[in-house]
Structure 1
Amino acid sequence: MRISQLTLRQFRNYPKAHFQFSPGTNVIVGQNANGKTNLIEAIYLLSVAKSFRTRINTEMVMFDTSFAKIEGDVDAHSRHYHLEMVLSQEGKRAKVNGHEMTKSSDFVGIINVVVFTPDDLFLIKGSPRERRRFMDIELSKLSNSYLYHFNQFSHLLKERNLYLKSEKIDPVYLDVLTSQLVDEQLILIARRESFVSKLNVEAQKAYARIASQKESMTVTYQSGFDLTASDLRQSLMHTYAHDRERDIRFGMTHHGIHKDDLMIALNEREAHLYASQGQQRSIVLALKIALLQLIFDEIGEYPILLLDDVLSELDDRRKTMLLDLLNDKIQTFITTTSLEGLSHQVISRAYKIEIRNRKESR
């Protein structure tokens, strides 16, 4: 899986720019606020149609312009693709080989990327919403059917919540909405359980290589439903029947996968409470390494790896361990303000891209 070239127009601080990349390791060097992360962000957008920095499209459009455009040539799944994305106040438009995509599920995951940034400690320190978002993005990249069912669930949840606020509730119609909501959740729960189980196995292996053998980490899926029930559909319907009066009284759906979480533990204790800053960084690094292997196992190709200013955040041991993983099978992009102190052979052989004098306008 490779991206060979990228063209940016009115994206962030790039009026117009064209980049060509090595199929191996690419090191992007430049001072802060010159646009290194913006380049990484553009590649990420071509994978998931979302930014890892903002949820507001117009923040990515250059000041005093009406739209931003990203184009990339990629090779994935033994095919060549020309991907385009336009961002504006009206939203996002995506094209694949010149054909406009009407559904995001037809665009997301054509190329698969794993991004690692200093802000990724939110996976441990952040809210359950952030960890759910992590799950949903990774699963959507692996399966466009997951994204389809997730969008269906989100639509039904919104519709049910609106109906719960109605002055008069028809119990038959509410049952229909609830039944449809349950059916979508059964699909998504199964996918989430499987994903987290595989992620846990790979993350434990990675953490054992990074940290002391006396330490161990686990990742488990936490649901508000009893997932051990012999008839899960009946169990979910029973939960909603039990919650009906409360849901109507508050005008919202209290149970569902929109309340799920990941439990990340170190030595069987919650990592956000008991792990040190260094241990938390090791856990996040292990999760990212686990994703590389998990994605390869699922689709038969390694994803593109985006390392945004993380080498400066890692100690020498973790830095060396991460760079040792990189090989010709994984196209990698590393951003850094300086090559000083990066003496690893991967860096010395890498293709260098220097970004200069592109100050942010926002």
Structure 2
Amino acid sequence: MRRNEQQSRYKSLKREPPNEASLSPQCTSLSVRMFSACHCLTSPKRQSPYSSVDSERYSSLVKSVMSSRVSSQTPESLQAEDEHVFGPVVKAQTPSSSSSSGPKMRVPKTLHPFLNCEENPETDDLEQGPPTRIALNRGQGRSSVPSVTRILQQTLSPDQIFYLERWRRKMIAELGEEGFKEYSQNLFRQGKLFHSALENTLESGGTQQNQSPSERPEYSAEVQGYMQSVSHILEDVRAVRAIESTVHHGTLNYLGIADFSMFLGVLCVIDWKTSEKPKPFLSNTYDNPIQVAAYAGALNNDSNYKYQVENGLIVVAYKDGSPGHAHQLKPELMQEYWKTWLVRLEEFTEQR
């Protein structure tokens, strides 16, 4: 009897569906996961917010941005911008795309010596005697001898030509043709007045530090700021050996006009520059280091001078009187710029 009851009960349990209380935790987890998976498979796909974007245009934009290695501004894009603002370019030439990645370094075909090894430098009397001033004389067979300035101007790189012309066009757009002409003339006049004031100060051998207020020279308003700007540098300049004196390299056949003085106890070629913008780094002076190395190389091979110079100095003076910058060129650096000068000189010769 009891056995029949158990069998009957077993059959009833088999027919009835299990309730939630009788389910184990494992079964609950499995059924939930299965339900979620089925729901995801059967639910409608969500609309992407980027489905309406022009994918082809977006892809090309990303590629153009990611492919820019240095800057998004190139000579080509700047020229396109200038044409839109100022009109089409007439004289400026766009540098080739290869030049934007940096100029190829050339080496001179013939490495002429920077120093004259046969010359015995007279170092004992460097601080004695008046400064030398050899005036430029275009006679005596020198009428066709090119100057350092002319050679550098005619061998500018395509990038230098482009940016120089771009600056000129922007200045003309702002000031007009006559205004830009007057601006250039004023800069030239201020530069001459500044160099004249420098000559008077260097020839007198005095600085504002060791002069009384009554002895200090009075400068015109146009150069007063420039002289104030270099006053702290002039305190370290002494034993002026040459002022605006001509140097000539007989073998390479070029000439220049330069100053030579002792600066911090070292004989240097000094190039005095004026600027309206700060130039705290040597790279801001563009071709000036090449110019200084060219002057030094000419002096070292000029029989009019009985000493050799291996160092250079570029002084940048500011019109507002802010402290000027003095960029020193050590002998190793002068040798490197001398090689660059030889390359530029070869380019000039090839053009002729």
User: TM-score, with normalisation over the residues of structure 1?
Assistant: 0.24
Larger radius of gyration: 2
